[in-house]
Amino acid sequence: MPDALTLPRPDDWHLHLRDGAALAAVLPHTARQFARAVVMPNLSPPVVRLADARAYQARIEAALPPGAAFQPLMTLYLTEATPPEALIEAAESGAVVGVKLYPAGATTNSDSGVREVSAVLPQLEVMAAAGLPLLVHGEVTDPAVDIFDREAVFLERTLGPLLERLPTLRVVLEHITTAAAVRFVDAAGPQLGATITAHHLLATRNDMLVGAIRPHYFCLPVLKRARDREALLEAAARGPSRYFLGTDSAPHAVDKKECPAGCAGSFTAHAALELYAEAFDEVGALDRLADFASRNGPRWYGLPENDGEVTLLREEWAPPAAYPFGAGALRPWRHDKPLRWRFVG
Ligand code: NCD
Ligand code: ZN
């Protein structure tokens, strides 16, 4: 069993950085490990226009620790009112790598999202023509659909027909959680990529609900069954593929998680690579983490791979029970169990 793991400097293809004091608190964790991250636009109000994305990018760059070599890759939040011309302008600017589709009501700050995909077809058509990728939160919000089935139903009802209708639209199915999603991505062509979080590779709904309710395991899409986790591990550890690393690290202050109506989101940026290494180690695939973390994403997005390398050691450590988070505190995921790998830079 190797005790050290070196890989090309990786990227995080799905990340929540928030804004203001929260941004300042979480950004150093990601900038330490990753060269680039695709920054989600679900601020309040959301990042809708190119000018919003440029301003948010400037705030992120201003919040970077001195000397940090980190590039935020910006996204726009798709609304039914987004003018198609604004997306052409965004694509031509080169300042955004994708446009995020949140089904309205699916998750944190998704109220301005899309109620019906048919209502944004003109926008999706110009994105297909401009080669601007659509990043999808793949869950239906139909109250009649059980929360554990919302991803599978979205693939069948919404994403399948959309990919057929717009075969040149490039799409990333974000944070996949089910064996059904792996089958769907496998069956699709090169137009479709998918991100997988560390927490969905390491945990199931049992971790969240057996014996006690553990709110830091509550994220969207929710953790699924053991057989889903196995399918995700198999897909992530395949080597060169259309699956790539996206932490979906989603910080919420501890009082917004440990309360009667807690927010969805797990904060994993403090130990992102360590968590992925643990998952790949479990299936004897440490040698394939470099594809998943450092090569598959740039290849799908048509961006260069990063220079430089990072190293992890097989060494137990425990994160603190909480990190500072503006005026509040942030409970890191896996504060309850030691981590098995340590990032050394
Ligand atoms: C994310 C957040 O908090 O912004 N929460 C989550 O559970 N993943 C939103 C999202 O990506 O769904
Ligand atoms: Zn997310």
Q: Whose CA is nearest to atom 5 of ligand 1?
A: 265
For the CA of 102, the closest atom of ligand 1 is: 12
Secondary structure (H, E, C), the chain: CCCEEEEECCEEEEECCCCHHHHHHHHHHHHHHCCEEEECCCCCCCCCCHHHHHHHHHHHHHHCCCCCCCEEEEEEECCCCCCHHHHHHHHHHCCEEEEEECECCCCCCCCCCECCHHHHHHHHHHHHHHCCCEEECCCCCCCCCCHHHHHHHHHHHHHHHHHHHCCCCCEEECCCCCHHHHHHHHHCCCCEEEEECHHHHHCCHHHHHCCCCCHHHCCCCCCCCHHHHHHHHHHHCCCCCCEEECCCECCCCHHHHCCCCCCCCCCCHHHHHHHHHHHHHHCCCHHHHHHHHHHHHHHHHCCCCCCCEEEEEEEEECCCCCEEECCEEECCCCCCCCEEEEECC
* pLDDT per residue as tens digits for the range 237-275: 999 999 999 999 999 999 999 999 999 999 999 999 999
What residues does ligand 1 touch, defined as CB less than 6 Å away?
A: 16, 42, 107-108, 137, 219-220, 248, 250, 264-265
Average pLDDT over residues 2-22: 97
Q: What percent of the chain has pLDDT over 90?
A: 97
* pLDDT per residue as tens digits for the range 215-233: 999 999 999 999 999 999 9
Q: What amino acid positions are annotated as catalytic residues?
A: 248
Q: Which pLDDT score is estimated for 271?
A: 98
Q: What percent of the chain has pLDDT over 70?
A: 100
For the CA of 16, the closest atom of ligand 1 is: 4
For the CA of 219, the closest atom of ligand 1 is: 7
Q: Which pLDDT score is estimated for 1?
A: 74
Q: Whose CA is nearest to atom 6 of ligand 1?
A: 265
- Residue 193 confidence class, pLDDT cut points 50, 70, 90: very high
pLDDT higher than threshold 80 for residue 333: yes
Ligand located closest to 200 CA: 1
Ligand 2 centroid to residue 82 C-alpha, Å? 21
pLDDT higher than threshold 90 for residue 2: no
For the CA of 107, the closest atom of ligand 1 is: 12
Best of 42, 150, 172, 195 to mutate for ligand 1, by most ligand atoms within 8 A of CB? 42
* pLDDT per residue as tens digits for the range 45-98: 999 999 999 999 999 999 999 999 999 999 999 999 999 999 999 999 999 999
Task: Output the average pLDDT for the chain.
Answer: 97
What is this structure's pTM? 0.98
* pLDDT per residue as tens digits for the range 275-322: 999 999 999 999 999 999 999 999 999 999 999 999 999 999 999 999
Ligand 1 centroid to residue 19 C-alpha, Å? 15
Best of 44, 220, 249 to mutate for ligand 1, by most ligand atoms within 8 A of CB? 220
Ligand 2 centroid to residue 265 C-alpha, Å? 8
Ligand 2 centroid to residue 14 C-alpha, Å? 6
Domains of the chain (ranges, CATH numbers): 4-343 (3.20.20.140)
Ligand 1 centroid to residue 251 C-alpha, Å? 9
Q: Which pLDDT score is estimated for 312?
A: 98
* pLDDT per residue as tens digits for the range 98-138: 999 999 998 888 889 999 999 999 999 999 999 999 999 99
Q: Which pLDDT score is estimated for 107?
A: 86
For the CA of 265, the closest atom of ligand 1 is: 7
Q: Whose CA is nearest to atom 11 of ligand 1?
A: 248
Ligand 1 centroid to residue 177 C-alpha, Å? 13
Q: Which pLDDT score is estimated for 106?
A: 87
Q: Which pLDDT score is estimated for 98?
A: 98
